[in-house]
A and B are shown apart, each in its own frame.
Chain A
Amino acid sequence: MATEPRDGGDLRRTARALPTLFRIGFSSALAYRSEFIVWILATNMPLVMLLLWTAVAKDGPIGRFGEKEFTAYFLATLIVRQLTGSWVVWEMSMEVRQGTLAMRLLRPIHPFLSYAADNLAALPLRGLVALPIAVGALFCAGGEQLTKDPVLWAIVPVSILGAWLLTFAAMLAIGSLALFFESSLAVYDMWLGLFFIFSGYLMPLELLPKELHAVVNASPFPYVLSFPVQTMLGLSSRSEAFASLGIEWLYAAGFLALALVLWRQGLRRFAAYGG
Chain B
Amino acid sequence: MLSARHLVKHYQVHSRPPGLLAALRSTFRRQYETVRAVDDISFEIAAGERVGFLGPNGAGKTTTLKILSGLLHPTSGEVRVAGFEPKKRDGSFLRSIMLVTGQKQQLLWDLPPIETFELNRAIYDVPRAAYKTTKDELVTLLELEPLLNKPTRQLSLGERMKCELAAALIHQPKVLFLDEPTIGLDVSMQTVVREFIKAYNERHNATVLLTSHYMDDVLAITPRVIVIDKGRLTYDGTLADLVHETRPEKTVTLRFGAPVDRARLDAFAASVSGAKAKVVSHEPQLAVLQVNTGEMNELVTRAISEFKVADLKVEDAPLEEVLADLFARGKAGAKAPDVAAPVDPEAAE
Contact = CB atoms under 8 A, between A and B. Distances in A.
A binds B: yes
Interface string A17-50: 1011100100110011000000000000000000
A55 interface: no
A6 B125 contact: yes
A215 interface: no
Contacts of B130: 1-3
A267 B73 contact: yes
A17 B91 contact: no
Given A5-B126, A106-B98, A100 B108 contact: no
Interface of B: 11, 62, 66, 69-73, 89, 91-92, 94-95, 97-99, 101-106, 108, 110-111, 115, 118-119, 121-127, 129-131, 133-134, 151, 170-172, 179-180
Given A2-B130, A3-B172, A275-B103, A24 B115 contact: yes
Given A32-B110, A107-B94, A99 B119 contact: no
Contact of A275 (B62, B94, B133, B134): B62
Nearest to A21: B122
Contacts of A272: 66, 71-72
A17 B133 contact: no
A112 to B, nearest CB: 13
Contact of A270 (B71, B91, B95, B101): B71
A70 B151 CA distance: 46
B111 A102 contact: no
Nearest to B66: A272
B7 to A, nearest CB: 16
Contacts of B94: 106-108
Given A3-B172, A24-B115, A275 B71 contact: no
A5 B125 contact: yes
Nearest to B102: A275
A1 B130 CA distance: 6
A105 B122 contact: no
B200 to A, nearest CB: 13
B124 A268 contact: no
Contact of B106 (A20, A106, A108, A109): A106
Contacts of A106: 69-71, 94, 97-99, 106
Contacts of A21: 119, 122-123
Contact of B126 (A3, A32, A103): A3
Given A28-B111, A108-B91, A272-B71, 17 more contacts: A3-B170, A5-B95, A5-B171, A8-B125, A10-B91, A17-B122, A17-B123, A20-B118, A20-B119, A20-B123, A27-B115, A100-B104, A102-B99, A102-B101, A109-B123, A270-B73, A274-B103
Contacts of B102: 275
A274 B108 CA distance: 19
Contact of B110 (A8, A28, A275): A28
A134 B99 CA distance: 46
Nearest to B151: A31
A64 interface: no
Nearest to A104: B106
B123 A275 contact: no
Contacts of B170: 3
Given A100-B104, A108-B124, A3 B71 contact: no
Contacts of A103: 104-106
A13 B106 CA distance: 20
